[in-house]
Amino acid sequence: MIKANKVYSVKEIFLTLQGEGYNIGTPSVFCRFSGCNLWNGLEKDRKKAICSFCDTDFNGVNGINGGKYKLDDLVKKINSLWPKRKKNKFVVFTGGEPILQLDSNLIKRIRKYGFRVAVETNGTLPLPKGIDWVCVSPKIKSKLIVKKGNEIKVVFPQKNITLSEYEKLNFQHFYIQPLENKNVVLNTKKSIRYVLKNPKWKLSIQSHKFLKIK
């Protein structure tokens, strides 16, 4: 049972264009929840984390529109960022790991405002009902339990990863995304070569980074 007085810890909320995957270029309100079950943020050395390559700041509540929100306040804040009287409302719940906090109450309430609901998850926790678009980004050292959805997006390369294993899962779209580190140019070339040889996969790039938007 979900507590009526539940408080959501949110790092940031902002209107932007989706920068990755199938919905690239789509106007979206991003609601980034604080916290992740694969890295608690307390270790100074991210190399000790399961996904040590993470480049997202999901700790605390000090981002734009960040804070501690009750349900109604969070829904109103998200809705306030969408252009007034405009349709095609789209919200992306992300993190960190959004499924630590995203629940059916929030999903039902935001959908009443006309939003389609997307989630970007590492796939290690069961999903609440009512999500319209599921994007799973698995990490090689974690146990994947969400094995179906709209898109799977794998950071590449990861040590000991076997992409062909993910092809057995029930997703509509399969993406690999070059690992952003000092070897990003090489990683991009490797990703392109893999996609060309394995056309079940598509290339996803972090377009928001070179567009210099959030």
Q: Is 56 a catalytic residue?
A: yes
- Exactly one of 12, 97, 120, 151 is catalytic; which is it? 120
Residue 186, token pair as written in the block? 């090489």
- Exactly one of 55, 73, 165, 167 is catalytic; which is it? 55
Q: Is 94 a catalytic residue?
A: no
- Exactly one of 20, 33, 54, 58 is catalytic; which is it? 54
The CA dihedral of 58, 203, 149, 8, to the nearest 10 degrees, is 10
Q: Is 156 a catalytic residue?
A: no
Q: Is 45 a catalytic residue?
A: no
Q: Is 55 a catalytic residue?
A: yes
Closest by CA to 176, choosing from 160, 159, 200, is 200
- Exactly one of 16, 180, 188, 208 is catalytic; which is it? 208
Q: Is 208 a catalytic residue?
A: yes
**In a 10 Å sphere around its CB, with 0-12 CB exposed, 13-18 middle and 19+ buried, how is residue 16 labelled?**
middle
Backbone angles phi and psi of 11, in degrees to 5: -75, -45
- Exactly one of 20, 31, 33, 51 is catalytic; which is it? 51
Backbone angles phi and psi of 195, in degrees to 5: -65, -40
- Exactly one of 31, 33, 36, 94 is catalytic; which is it? 36
- Exactly one of 56, 73, 165, 167 is catalytic; which is it? 56
Q: Is 135 a catalytic residue?
A: no
With contact defined as beta carbons under 8 Å apart, do 99 and 121 qualify? yes
- Exactly one of 30, 90, 115, 171 is catalytic; which is it? 30
List, edge to edge, every strand of the sheet that includes 116-121: 67-70, 7-17, 27-33, 90-94, 116-121, 133-136, 148-156, 170-178, 201-203
Active-site residue set: 30, 36, 51, 54-56, 120, 208
